[in-house]
Amino acid sequence: MKLFDEQSFLHQLSIDCVIFGYKDAELKVLISRIKMKRSFWALPGGFIKHEESIDQAAKRILEERTGLKDIYLEQYRVFGEPNRINHEVFEGLTSLRDEWAEQIMLDEASLQWLAKRFVSIGYYALVDINKMHPRKSELDDSVDWYNVKQLPALIMDHNEMVTQALETLRLNLDRKLIAFNLLPDTFTMKEVQELYEAIYDKPFARNNFQKKILDLNVLERLEKKFTGAANKAPYLYRFQQ
């Protein structure tokens, strides 16, 4: 099995995905730790097959890492500085070459292919964190969720990619009604509010927030959710539109 089949993919063009999830009142991003002597952290990414569209490629990459089909994703920006060359990982790969070469996972041509400058198309995705189980790719040591406010130092410009993805998410959140992709099928209004507060990193007034969200006319009110707490039970809602 070959990792980078330089025949199958467009050259010098990649896709990197900022996969957002939400848990414990924190907005999280899925980050790979790359399998090397020294650890590198990076956004999940991949390449574009000759016969597939860039959107299909992004979907395939997301499915490989999340196991989910039909997740919300959107391209938001291209990163194309000429120095976007992955020196760190490339040198790590080179040092592993002998070991891996035996498994025919990395030949000279693949290394040459990887060593070049890459223009990367940034996608961001919104997933229900409970529905998915992160899957490691062959290169990954681990794949984990990190609080978007406490990310490790990522390779190349990947930290900047996250920052710009978050900016785009904030701009699009209300306009495109996409916040609910981060929540389970049913949720309370308080959960929606805490999600918004995590995304915008600022508090919202409870009553006004409820009004604003209900005025969107995209939520169906279901039965109440009795938690056993000594207070009024909140309604559950379901997104529909």
Partner DNA sequence: ACAAAAGTGTTGACTATACACCCATGG
Partner DNA sequence: CCATGGGTGTATAGTCAACACTTTTGT
Nearer of residues 14 and 66 to its own copies, judged by Cβ: 14
Interacting partner of 13 out of DNA, its own copies, none (Cβ under 5 to 8 A depending on kind):
its own copies
Judged by CB under 7 A, which of 102, 153, 230, 241 binds DNA?
230
Q: Which does 211 bind (CB under 5 to 8 A by kind): DNA, its own copies, none?
A: DNA
Residues 6 or more apart whose Cβ sits within 8 Å of residue 99: none
Among 5, 6, 52, 157, binds its own copies (CB under 8 A): 52
Which of 70-78, 112-120, 134-142, 228-236 is the region at the interface with DNA (rule: CB under 7 A)?
228-236
Residue from 8, 12, 94, 103 in contact with its own copies (CB under 8 A): 12
| Among 50, 133, 202, 232, contact with DNA (rule: CB under 7 A) | 232
In the complex with DNA, the residue whose CB is nearer, 81 or 220, is 220
Candidate ranges 44-52, 55-63, 96-104, 227-235; the one touching DNA (CB under 7 A): 227-235
Beta-carbon count within 10 A of 124 CB = 26
186 binds DNA (CB under 7 A): no
Judged by beta carbon distances under 5 to 8 A according to partner kind, the member of DNA, its own copies, none in contact with residue 80 is its own copies
Q: Which is closer to DNA, CB of 23 or CB of 234?
A: 234
Task: Note whether 240 binds DNA by CB under 7 A.
Answer: no
SS (H, E, C) the chain: CCCCCCCCEEEEEEEEEEEEEEECCEEEEEEEEECCCCCEEECCEEEEECCCCHHHHHHHHHHHHHCCCCCEEEEEEEECCCCCCCHHHHHHHHHHHHHHHCCCCCCHHHHHHHCCCCEEEEEEEECCCCCCCCCCCCCEEEEEEEECCCCCCECCCHHHHHHHHHHHHHHHHHHHCCHHHHCCCEECHHHHHHHHHHHHCCCCCHHHHHHHHHCCCCEEEEEECCCCCCCCCCEEEEECC
Q: What minimum distance in Å lies between the beta carbon of 48 and its own copies?
A: 7
Whether residue 74 contacts residue 123, with contact meaning beta carbons closer than 8 Å, is answered with yes
Six token digits for residue 5: 């089949």
Q: Does 211 bind DNA (CB under 7 A)?
A: yes
The token pair at 125 is: 């995705």
Interaction between residue 183 and DNA (CB under 7 A): no
For DNA, which residue of 207, 217, 240, 241 counts as binding (CB under 7 A)? 207
Residue pair 213/189 in contact (Cβ under 8 Å)? The answer is yes
Contact 148, 6 (CB under 8 A): no
Binding residues vs its own copies (CB under 8 A)? 10-13, 48, 50-55, 75, 77-78, 80-82, 117, 119, 121
Binding stretches for DNA (CB under 7 A): 188-190, 205-208, 210-212, 214-215, 224, 226, 228-235
